[in-house]
Amino acid sequence: MMELATEYLKPGISPSRFAGIAYSIAVFVPEANDFFDNDPASSADLNDLKEQFEAQGHQFHMTTHNAELSVSSSAYRLLGEKKIDAAVVFDPSIDDKLVDELVNRGIPYLVTNGRSYDRSQNFIDYDNRKGASDVIHYLHGLGHRKIGLIAGPSRHLVNENRLRGCRDAYRELGLEWDDSRVLTGAFDPGHGYQTVKGMVAEHPDITAIFAFNDMIAFGAMKGLSELKLKIPKDVSLVGFDDLKLSEFMMPPLTTVRRFRYDISQLIVKIITELITNKYISEVNISLKTELIERESCGKVK
């Protein structure tokens, strides 16, 4: 993974020459989040990131922010104190103002868990768009044409990128897009449980469901069971994240794997370079995802 980073960096000052220097790193997360209760994949990312920064002797400050970056927010106050050397923007929203503020203040930064395709910015992120596109192509290959999408929060870029990936695949496959088959909500099992019941009631012809994370898929499994629908005999189901629990579900869940325990080391490496190496103009690193095929999907009857 470290070899990957060097491909994106121009020659300059090596952080190893600054051994012993501790930096103050701010990690900004959305104001309204449920990472630690209902989204273990994001929670694991943040915990691992904290461990990696602190292992290098750096100070780790996690604070919340809203898309508008209001002057009363804790994020704005932290920026105003001018005590941080760099920032990581985790799970940004659409039209998020934080990156602009960091650029205006000359603070090195990285965006992760939701990059923007519509603007220039520093990012290290999984290719959520390609991962979602692969799911639709996979289901299409099994004969599915009526697919329901149980998406995450509508204003979050990570959700938007997965939705764009689905649209890409629909366009490439010549499928007709239907907004009524896309339902957004929190990245938690309650959303999957409640939504799948309404989705099946409104669209009884659905043969496959793509849940935008595994937690949503777990809730959908319970809802489908209560509707007496068998997976994958009646409905195929796919998740995203490949949580450890996914392979132990009944049936084991087909999902998209993110290699989340490698990305933190890369973020720490690049953030340090951005602080010390003034020759870097922009960092764009997209990490691959992988579709993990298990027993929750089957061919259309």
pLDDT at 17 exceeding the cut of 70: no
Token pair in block for residue 152: 């995450």
Domain 2-126+258-289, second-level architecture: 3-Layer(aba) Sandwich (3.40)
Instruction: Please calculate the CA angle 201-207-212 and round it to the nearest 5 degrees.
Output: 85
List the end-to-end C-alpha distance of the chain, in Å, as a whole number: 42
- The secondary structure of 74-92, three-state, reads HHHHHHHCCCCCEEEEECC
pLDDT band at 9 (very low <50, low <70, confident <90, very high): very low
pTM across the whole model = 0.87
Judge whether residue 78 has pLDDT over 80.
Answer: no
Per CATH, 2-126+258-289 and 128-257 having the same topology is answered yes
Query: What is the separation of C-alpha 254 from the centre of its chain, rounded to a whole number of angstroms?
Result: 18
Q: Which amino acid is at 113?
A: N
Position 83 scores a pLDDT of 80
- Mean pLDDT (the chain, rounded): 88
Tell me which residue has tokens 């691992």: 48
Contact 255, 295 (CB under 8 A): no
Confidence (pLDDT) at 36:
53
Mean pLDDT of 156-182: 97
Above 80 in pLDDT, residue 248? yes
Q: Is the dihedral of CA 165, 168, 173, 174 positive or negative?
A: positive
The whole-number average pLDDT for the span 188-214 is: 97
CATH number of 128-257: 3.40.50.2300
- Looking at the predicted structure, is the pLDDT value of residue 129 above 90? yes
Q: Is residue 235 pLDDT above 70, yes or no?
A: yes
Q: For the segment 249-288, what is each residue's pLDDT rounded down to a tens digit?
A: 999 999 999 876 678 899 999 999 999 988 898 999 999 9
Task: Calculate mean pLDDT across residues 157-167.
Answer: 97
Question: In the chain, where are the structural domains located?
Answer: 2-126+258-289, 128-257
The pLDDT value recorded for residue 88 is: 95
pLDDT at 13: 39
Say what percent of the chain tops pLDDT 70: 86
Distance CA 70, CA 65 (A): 8
Using the structure block, give the residue that is written with the tokens 């370079």: 273
Average pLDDT over residues 133-144: 98
Instruction: Report pLDDT digits (tens) over 84-96.
Output: 899 999 999 998 8
